[in-house]
Structure 1
């Protein structure tokens, strides 16, 4: 998909806020997401985020898949609650950020409360969430700007800039703006959320999780030079450092995450019955993948390749986030660039190296090519890198 210039397709988003996200131009080159690629959200929209309380303790206990699945569950729940509305969202590893039109406030708050109650019931995990008008974010001195990156011809992802999501997350963690967790007892609709693929071993020395956050007073142009230098290093790697092989991740039967998927998405069905249903369905899919043959409109070879094409291994979430398959030399070069940028007062950063990457998926239909795949390191990834970043702010 060709990347249009903003002036070619941009419409008056303030006069038609309901179609704000639909009307944004698509950028096909990640390095093209410079400052002028981002458009301010309308003042009356809502900004939201959620994350797992003390996710690092869960990661220490080896619950990487659980953390990622719950982090992606908010996106699945909101998409299923608002199936006909396009809205921006970004996966953060142990949580998510999103923005919604103003008339979706009540539905979103209800569904997030259901999800929080469900996660507490099924896993004894605290998921906090918040929503705030964009006007409040701007009143704090921050901004919320959004761009659309076409990862493939079938899937695009939202990119956030302006500091608003970082500010809202800090408010939430300070318990200043957390949503009520009181639920009506209805399970959230998590249709399409899955984690059936194997973790992917690094082809080079490591899977590197990279977080870069600009300092509030740093000039945008100077920070952009840093991020562009990192992207240039990534672009010098095979397929830009993509952690998934071109043909897609591996598959085994039964998948390791099947019971986790069953518990999260079981609704009012017993978890064991949901697992049986998923096992039977997955067995058929496993045969198709192993044989590499089509069944009706489903082509397993194309589907696996689409996973890699549709993956979100690079993003802007009020800063640069990357999951890269890279050699030690590239790790050292990135670390050197970031250390110098931090010494110059431009950024804070986090790096975490591990042996594997993993994917968490939202698949509206296996018969369509618009399935989405959130990539993270398989041993803590972004959450571990965030620990390093937070330590630099002390």
Structure 2
């Protein structure tokens, strides 16, 4: 039986309308006894410059998949940030969080030569610093829901991590997190309306919650004029090709210490069967390809709140100009920082516990730098 702490997240209502998340009253304070885990890739901008953003995305998503597997089905709030992730868990899972982050730091270094920061921050420390950590649950479909964060606590914890506080040390060499279900089999989705635009907006210290809620509402109203509110994945699902573009990444993620070449060959065969199955559209047991692809699109996480607003939109030039006008006016008033990054395609990184259920998770980002590049532009 779950204790009261662990049952907290289960008790939160599922919000079906993303616009409702602009209301601060929709967010509930995370229990003070909980901890917040944060992780991000060091020098993600440099990694992107070397053409490694898909690897950066995969490492960021690995944080979430490893925690989901470690907690064995227990629901908890998490958010994907492109080059990192954040999650909150009860005190009873704090050691599991530290162990997962330690393993991930070692694995990312050994498997991808990527340096990953990791920290576990008590929520009590966040509140002592004058910040808060509040959460809401947004359900884009019947199959999944995603956590949204507000209160400034997540951003504060990330800054503390980058300053070297609350650090989780590396695990011993050879550490292997459980990444079962993490994959990137889909091909990128090309923009249909203009460009794939990654948007990152954060409030300044001068902005009140009401100020930021009003600004977010104005941006979302502009985006609603786009087809499907700017959803960057086709309604029928993203394209799939053989051989898949992410084969090498999938092999690194799934090999679990086994020979890399052997794992690539195994995945080539598996993905050929999958591609043929999707092409034929024929049902195989409880798996129906058309339904699965449509569910992938419905489940996609293309907009979120994490102490700010992040969106990956298939955006036409007129709407992009409208959004920029709204954001620039707010920036001049000193209430926000923002960054935009435009590219031709969107990409997706997936966590699929079972292909025959509808609870598969799909993280969307721009394919040539996405959120990380937008955040870099914001800092500049």
Q: TM-score range by the shorter chain?
A: over 0.9
Are the counterparts in 2 of residues 52 and 94 from structure 1 also a CA contact under 8 Å? yes
| Pairing 1:271-282 to 2, within 5 Å after superposition | 271-282=260-271
Are the counterparts in 1 of residues 119 and 165 from structure 2 also a CA contact under 8 Å? no
| Pairing 1:60-75 to 2, within 5 Å after superposition | 60-75=49-64
Aligned to 1:345: 334
State the shift of 1:183 in Å.
2.8
Is 1:21 the counterpart of 2:9? The answer is yes
State the shift of 1:277 in Å.
2.1
- Give 2:18's match in structure 1, choosing from 30, 46, 49: 30
Is 1:254 the counterpart of 2:243? The answer is yes
Is 1:335 the counterpart of 2:324? The answer is yes
| Pairing 1:203-242 to 2, within 5 Å after superposition | 203-242=192-231
Are the counterparts in 2 of residues 230 and 334 from structure 1 also a CA contact under 8 Å? yes
Alignment size in residue pairs: 378
| Pairing 1:153-302 to 2, within 5 Å after superposition | 153-183=142-172, 185-302=174-291
Are the counterparts in 1 of residues 204 and 335 from structure 2 also a CA contact under 8 Å? yes
Aligned to 2:120: 131
Tell me, in whole angstroms, the C-alpha distance in 1 between the residues paired with 2:213 and 2:70: 36
TM-score, normalised by the number of residues in structure 2: 0.97
Tell me, in whole angstroms, the C-alpha distance in 2 between the residues paired with 1:287 and 1:311: 23
Tell me, in whole angstroms, the C-alpha distance in 1 between the residues paired with 2:365 and 2:163: 26
Larger displacement relative to structure 2 (279-288 or 143-152): 279-288
Are the counterparts in 2 of residues 189 and 265 from structure 1 also a CA contact under 8 Å? no
State the shift of 1:255 in Å.
0.3
TM-score, normalised by the number of residues in structure 1: 0.94
Are the counterparts in 1 of residues 135 and 150 from structure 2 also a CA contact under 8 Å? yes
State the shift of 1:153 in Å.
0.7
Tell me, in whole angstroms, the C-alpha distance in 2 between the residues paired with 1:214 and 1:340: 13
**Deviant stretches of 4+, over 6 Å:** none
CA RMSD of aligned residues (A): 1.2
State the shift of 1:275 in Å.
1.8
Tell me, in whole angstroms, the C-alpha distance in 2 between the residues paired with 1:197 and 1:360: 8
Tell me, in whole angstroms, the C-alpha distance in 2 between the residues paired with 1:154 and 1:260: 26
Which whole-Å deviations, capped at 9, do the CAs of 1:127-170 have from their partners, x for residues lacking one? Answer: 01100110000101110000000010111000000010100101
| Pairing 1:27-106 to 2, within 5 Å after superposition | 27-33=15-21, 34-106=23-95
